[in-house]
Amino acid sequence: MTGPVVYQMLFHAVLRHTDAERIHGLSAAALRGAAALPGVPAAMARLLGAREPELRVRALGREFAGPLGMAAGFDKDARLVDGLAALGFGHVEIGTVTAEAQPGNPRPRLFRLTADRAIVNRMGFNNEGSAAVAERLRARARRRRPGPRVVVGANIGKTKAVREERAVEDYVTSARRFADVADYVAVNVSSPNTPGLRDLQAVGHLRPLLSAVRAALDEAGRPELPLLVKIAPDLADSDVDAVADLALELGLHGIIATNTTIAREGLATPADEVAAAGAGGLSGAPLKDRSLEVLTRLRARVGDRLVLVAVGGVETPEDAWARIRAGATLVQGYTGLVYNGPLWPRRMHRGLARLVRAAGYRSVTDAVGSDLAAQDRAAS
């Protein structure tokens, strides 16, 4: 039997019946253990990493072995970077990290909707705080061993206990702490699990926040450090346009589209099971269409002036390919790994390389926005 078949048997027989957060903890422990063994990360990367030359991407001033990365939320405290790199992810976005350590929401707070290949989470930014997490990244840099190179982004959010009038200061504190250790910083204003956070997506609140974070990075001696903002799929189209225009105005490097959704329409999971999972952000396959719509709208608004990172419902090589052709330079996954197992990144990259070659492109970068470009040519 193949690895994917074995994983699916294990998932349906055992994993789906076990508390989701407990399984995540066990998986994280396994990744940390594998990454700590001499020579193992490098060997895993040779087997599982993106090796196809057409998948190499240069974006945000960095080199990526492939376009697929791990979305924020999986590695909140930067403990799994090397393990995730060994699985084949070209970048890892750690966090969301807040200025102050916090435990997050009460358990249970992570649920699978298996019929929809989806996850509901209301974790609530549980993390050790940006001072501790940034120091962990510094320690990793000091002990750097041979192994896969991976781009590391720091996703920062607001501490729950901090009042709205101090939100900017809270983000700035974390930005300063990550300025010397992150390859890029992503401002998360779109999680549904911190009260009032999504209100910061309104341009009136977002402009001073992003301006202050940019200024903090500049003052820390990193004026070239890429700054991105992560938005929700639940924004109205006019608000998506407004955020895009603001990103251009402020000189941001990119937008991550999208975070989880609070919507529950059209699910195959029985209504009582959905209700039992309760409030929180929904990720996975049900997010696919809306995330692609937001991405397409952003590309039409900003063209190639910003790096667009697609996340939400990315599970197959075809999903990733659709997002690249819609304008995404990079794609991210999380739920796809949960439902498809540790060989998923390698299958994604192999399948994506086949699609790039079949379409006649020399590289995945050449295909970015190609659907929109074709539409523009046809219209003219």
Q: Please give the annotated binding residues for FMN, written as ranges.
A: 72-76, 96, 155, 188, 230, 258, 284, 313, 334-335
Cα separation, 172 vs 156, whole angstroms: 9
Q: How far is CA 351 from CA 244, 318, 320, 323, in A?
A: 31, 8, 10, 14
Q: Which two tokens stand for residue 284?
A: 């996975």
Helices and strands in the chain: count of H runs, count of E runs: 14, 13
Q: Which of 190, 191, 283, 291 is catalytic?
A: 191
Q: What is the sign, positive or negative, of the torsion defined by CA atoms of 55, 301, 215, 195?
A: negative
Q: Is 110 exposed, middle or buried (0-12, 13-18, 19+ CB in 10 A)?
A: buried
Q: Coil, strand, or helix at residue 255?
A: strand
> For this structure, is 191 an active site residue?
yes
Residue positions forming the annotated binding site: 72-76, 96, 121-125, 155, 188, 193, 230, 258-260, 284, 313, 334-335
- Give 263-317 as a DSSP string: --TT-SS-HHHHHHH-SSEEEEGGGHHHHHHHHHHHHHHHTTSSEEEEESS--SH
Q: CB–CB of 119/283 below 8 Å?
A: yes
- Which distant-in-sequence residues (6+ apart) come within 8 Å of 222 by Cβ? 179, 180
Cα separation, 331 vs 323, whole angstroms: 8
Placement of tokens 């063994």 in the chain: 37
Q: What is the sign, positive or negative, of the torsion defined by CA atoms of 234, 186, 170, 123?
A: positive
Q: What is the 3-state secondary structure (H, E, C) of 64-133?
A: ECCCEEECCCCCCCCCCHHHHHHHCCCEEEEEEECCCCECCCCCCCEEEEHHHCEEEECCCCCECCHHHH
Residue positions forming the annotated binding site for substrate: 76, 121-125, 188, 193, 259-260
- Give 17-45 as a DSSP string: GS-HHHHHHHHHHHHHHHHHSTTHHHHHH
Q: What is the 3-state secondary structure (H, E, C) of 316-327?
A: CHHHHHHHHHHC
Q: CB–CB of 275/246 below 8 Å?
A: no
**Residues classed as catalytic:** 191
